[in-house]
Structure 1
Amino acid sequence: MKKKKLLIAVLILITGTSYAQNNWTLKSCIEYGLKNHRSNVVYANEKKAADAKAREALAAYLPSVNIQGSIDDNLKVQETVIPAGIFGDHDIRVAFTKKFNTNPMAQLDQTIFDQSLLTGLKANKYNKESAELNVQQNNETIIYNISNAFAQIFVYREQLSLLHTNLDNYHEQMDITRLQVTKGTVLQKELDKVTVDFNNTVSKIHVAESNLTLSYNQLKYEMGYPLTDTIMVDSLEAAKAFNSLAIATPDASTFSAANRLDFRISQVNEKLLAIDELRLRNGIYPRLTAYARYGAIGYGDNLNESFKSLATYSAIGIKLSIPILDFYKRNAQSAQAKYKHLNAIEQLKIDEGKYALEYQNARTKVIQEQGNMDNNRRNIELAQSVFNTTNLQYQKGTTDMTDWLNAQNSLREAQNNYLSSIYNFFLARIDLEKAGGSLKTFYLAL
């Protein structure tokens, strides 16, 4: 018996723990998404690829060793003619090779000076920086998408709560009207009017429940959470997270385009284009390379003999390469890089103005949506007050069903406007954080 009670207690504890873990807050959803969304793997791989690209560029200035070999089977050995008069009165045909020639060789090359290559190495720093900024931008996208999905869940749950309240009102009124119809004090059509609105509300509840399920699936997708697993949003925390957004909007004077990751990525790309332009221009300088070679050569009438008679040789030296006749090609390439760089500089100026405009518009929209939300909140309180008064009057018989239905419809319209303004304000607030480049700060402050 004691063991059975202990088992039950353990099961209750496990169930309670699982339930607590399933009550997700906005911050915990974002935290999970930042760790588990599949896009993290993609951008992590891009970062590793940038590191590998940097090593590849550096490798061009490190020593390289090549081993090669050849085996020639001279099907018809070439002969050379020694003119008459040197070794006799007649021309002499002599072969200076044999049927088989073997030539294994190893060569080490080391770049001593290549200004174009040295310039290209400067790009490594910015390639790594660009990859890191892309990772941060992906994190911002995850924060934005999860916040959006979280907002939809919050609004649909609020909508369901209001619809169920309206359904209770219609149900109560149906009971009253049905009794009146039985007593003969009102006509059946009065009951039918309420029944129609009741059925419409039931249909709206089904739609809202379906939308809520879809919103949960969207949230799980944006988090990288298994779609087949259940996840529950903490209702109290949802309201808290929503209320935390209703803070004073940031001052427009605090905006800086440099806070935007996409702007900083464009700045890095501009620097990369500047390096590419300089690299092409520096192609005019000579290239100096050192080498060391060691090999062997053998001859024989058969293959085995050619390997047995190998004679080794070695050499060291330097090689100077001065480009002369590629001026037109190099100049054309340099000109293309120059104009791409100039366009990147101009695009930065355009983007700076565009991002400032986006921030100003987002800030204006937040102020507008906050005003709409406050007005709709007051309006729903007023509509609720009118409905309560009309409902009391109807119960006392001082008003008719038409007034009651009009009051209920006005309340329902006010509720819809309020829900719409809540969602619009939430999105406007998130859009403002995105436009200001402060989504990560928003997440950390939750």
Structure 2
Amino acid sequence: MNKNIIFLLLAFLPCRLAAQSSWSLKTCIDYGLKNNRSNAIYANEKKMADAKAKEALAAYLPSIGVNSTLDDNLKVQVSVIPAGIFGPNDLRVAFTKKFNTNHVARVDQTIYDQSLLTGLKANKYNVQQADLNQRQNDETIIYNISTAYSQIFVYREQLNLLKANQETYKGQMEIISFQVKKGTALQKDADKVTVDYNNAQSQIQVAESNLTLAENQLKYEMGYPINDTLTIDSTTSGDVFMPVTSTFAINSPFTADNRTDYRISQVNAKLLEIDESRIKAGALPKLTAYAQYGFIGFGDRLGPAFSGMSPYSAIGLKLNIPLFDFFKRNAQYSQAKYKRLNAQENLKLDDDKYQLDYENARTKVLKEQSNVENNRRNIALAQSVLSTTDLQLQKGITNLTDWLNAQNSLKEAQNNYLNSLYAFFQARIDLEKAGGTLKTFYSGLSSAHEN
């Protein structure tokens, strides 16, 4: 019984490994969102925002300090009591000794500081900014992985077409070689087909090299080990980009708020507004409470300065009213004001720019999708012409030149199709970026693309 179970497990294991070894676009993005090294940078930025919030709050919390001093008065200062108070002559008196020590603990508590209170409002926006930066990084990962993934699909399509063309040339070489031996064809005709066959082989090698580069680029964007094998799911690679007419990005009205970079600019504008208010609040009085307790000692020698210390304590309020820093503060306020105004104007410019980007991207993606469909039909037509010409060549009612021209027309149609296919994939992901829907695009990748 145990042997049967082990046999079944061993038989099932390769199937599981095979299933897991094929990567869809969604699984590639899943991996990249977890393993791309940039994640650590933006996670640290979020921690920095939290620490910055604590720093701002700490300015309104009690501060405690302990201060100790030891003075060695190498030459004791002497004060003069004027004549007539204690006698007819001036009296020179020293009010300290050679050594004096002072140890004091002090607690300061800000009671009112409007500039600090205003600055605390920035904490919420600093956290939002860190979150939006993290989101923008996720969108960049999704965009880069999708772009690299589509390149792999296009290069694989190119390889399939080139290998099919090579097989066609190979079959024609065999036929023309037989005809040369029979004397019904010239050697130059065989050489023409051989040249095209060799060109196809060279093109295959270039395409294989490009495919390897694209795979390495995808691994890099994912944070996947470069030297490890990554098998891409070829069956659904193109389906995830089609049809574009049913996507959220193409049908929904554009709003700049969908774009993360626009929302980051909004947060930055709010931070500039808070900074402007903080500088303005710097003109208001600041009230601080304090309490201190200490010991002070004096002595002609070092020992008594420590052993004979006397305690003292005090509590009080400190009011600070800035009076003569108006010009400096006013200049700072003016700078902050114009920075805030420029940020608001840039938001309006960005709104128009992002609207333009979206409309252009939507127009381009529909155009490129139409080009893909037209070029796919052209391939079918060129293939039909080649089949007809091939049959005519076999019957001897046309020549090899017509056959080669038909084959070249097919290759041209294939190249046009591949170029339009890549342009469509790029326009497709650019549309999601322009519409601020990269996250929606990623979330909408169906589970069918994962298996």
The alignment's TM-score, normalised by the length of structure 2, stands at 0.95
Q: Is the 8 A contact 2:241 2:428 kept in 1?
A: no
- SS of the aligned residue for 1:56 comes to helix
Matches within 5 A, 1:205-216: 205-216=204-215
**1:43 pairs with 2:45:** no
Q: Which amino acid aligns with 2:306?
A: F
| Cα drift, residue 94 of structure 1 | 2.4
Offset at residue 81 of structure 1 (A): 2.9
State whether structure 2 residue 329 is matched by structure 1 residue 326.
no
Structure 2 Cα separation of the partners of residues 300 and 84 of structure 1 = 28
| Partner of residue 410, structure 2 | 411
Separation in structure 2 between the aligned mates of residue 433 and residue 444 of structure 1, nearest angstrom: 12
Distance 1:124 1:291 in 2: 27
Counterpart mapping for 1:303-318 below 5 A: 303-318=302-317
Residue matched to 1:158: 157
String of CA shifts for 1:9-56, please: whole Å, max 9, x gaps.
766544433332220000011111111111111111101101111111
**Partner residue of 1:120?**
119
Contact 2:132 2:264 in 1 (8 A): yes
- Say which SS state the counterpart of residue 235 (structure 2) adopts: helix
Identity %: 64
Q: Tell me the SS of whatever aligns to 1:254.
A: coil
Instruction: Answer yes or no: is the 8 Å Cα contact 1:249–1:363 preserved in 2.
Output: no
- Partner residue in 1 for 2:260: 261
In the aligned structure 1, how far is the partner of 2:182 from the partner of 2:417? 39
Gaps of 5+ in 1: none
Q: How far 1:394 moved relative to its partner?
A: 1.1
Name the structure 1 match of 2:449.
none
The answer to whether the Cα contact below 8 Å between 2:249 and 2:435 also exists between their aligned partners in 1 is no
In the alignment, the residues of structure 2 paired with residue 10 and residue 304 of structure 1 have an alpha-carbon distance, to the nearest angstrom, of 85
Look up the match of 2:352: 353
Number of the residue aligned with 2:27? 28
CA contact (8 A) 1:103 1:295 kept: yes
Q: Greater shift after overlay, 229-238 or 247-256?
A: 247-256
* Corresponding letter in the other structure for 1:416: N
Tell whether the 8 Å contact from 2:244 to 2:250 is kept in structure 1 after alignment.
no
The 1:255/1:280 distance shift into structure 2, 3 A limit, reads: same
Partner of 1:389: 388
Deviation larger for 74-83 or 308-317: 74-83
Give, in whole Å, the separation in 2 of the partners of 1:306 and 1:184: 125
Query: Match of 1:431?
Result: 430
Match of 2:448 in 1: none
State whether residues 115 and 281 of structure 2, in contact with CA within 8 Å, keep that contact through their aligned partners in structure 1: yes
Q: 1:301 to 1:269 in 2, by over 3 A?
A: same
Give the whole-Å Cα distance in 2 for the aligned partners of 1:239 and 1:432. 16
One-letter code aligned to 1:363: R
1:337–1:299 CA distance, 2 compared to 1 (3 A)? same
CA distance in 2, matches of 1:252, 1:161: 34
Q: Does residue 1:278 correspond to 2:255, yes or no?
A: no
Q: Is the 8 A contact 1:102 1:299 kept in 2?
A: yes
For 2:144, the aligned partner's letter is N
Alpha-carbon distance between aligned partners in 2 of 1:199 and 1:269, rounded to the nearest angstrom: 59
Please give the TM-score of this superposition, normalised by the length of structure 1. Answer: 0.96
User: Which stretch of the first structure deviates more once superposed, 176-185 or 240-249?
Assistant: 240-249
Q: Equivalent residues in 2 for 1:167-182 (5 A)? A: 167-182=166-181
Q: Distance in 2 between matches of 1:18 and 1:253?
A: 41
Cα 1:245–1:304 shift into 2, 3 Å? farther
Structure 2 distance, partners of 1:131, 1:380, is 50
Query: Does structure 2 conserve the Cα–Cα contact (< 8 Å) formed by 1:167 and 1:198?
Result: yes
Distance 1:379 1:324, change over 3 A: same
CA distance in 2: counterparts of 1:84 and 1:408, whole angstroms: 125
Write out per-residue CA displacement over residues 328-357 of structure 1, whole angstroms, 9 at most, x where no aligned residue: 111111111111111111111111110000
Look up the match of 1:238: 237
Structure 2: runs of 5 or more not aligned? 446-451
SS of equivalent residue, structure 1 residue 70? strand
Deviation at 1:83, TM superposition (A): 3.7
SS in 2 for 1:320: strand
Q: CA deviation at 1:175?
A: 0.5
Aligned residue type for 1:145: N
Letter in 2 for 1:179: F
Amino acid at match of 2:99: F
Q: In the aligned structure 1, how far is the partner of 2:168 from the partner of 2:441? A: 40
For the 8 Å contact 1:245–1:426, the answer to whether it is kept is no
Structure 1 letter corresponding to 2:45 = E
CA distance in structure 2 between the partners assigned to 1:290 and 1:242 by the alignment: 65
Matched, 1:297 2:296: yes
| Contact map agreement 1:252 1:360 (CA 8 A) in 2 | no
SS at match of 1:69: strand
CA contact (8 A) 2:21 2:230 kept: yes
Conserved 8 A contact 1:281-1:334? yes
Counterparts in 2 of 1:4 and 1:244: CA distance versus 1, 3 Å: farther
Cα deviation for residue 442 of structure 1 reads: 0.6
Task: Map Cα deviations across residues 299-326 of structure 1 (whole Å, 9 max, x no partner).
Answer: 1222222110111110000001111111
Inter-CA distance 12–167: structure 2 relative to 1 (3 Å threshold): farther
Q: Distance in 2 between matches of 1:367 and 1:266?
A: 30
**Partners of 2:68 and 2:247 in 1: how far apart?**
76
Q: How does 1:33-182 map to 2 (within 5 A)?
A: 33-182=32-181
Letter in 2 for 1:297: I
Q: How far apart, CA to CA, are the structure 2 residues paired with 1:249 and 1:101?
A: 79
**Structure 1 residue 76: deviation in Å?**
1.5
Q: Secondary structure at the match of 1:103?
A: strand
Q: 1:197: which partner in 2?
A: 196
Q: What CA distance in whole angstroms lies between the structure 1 residues aligned with 2:191 and 2:299?
A: 112
Distance 1:313 1:36 in 2: 61
CA distance in 1, matches of 2:202, 2:104: 84
* 1:235–1:217 Cα change, 3 Å: same
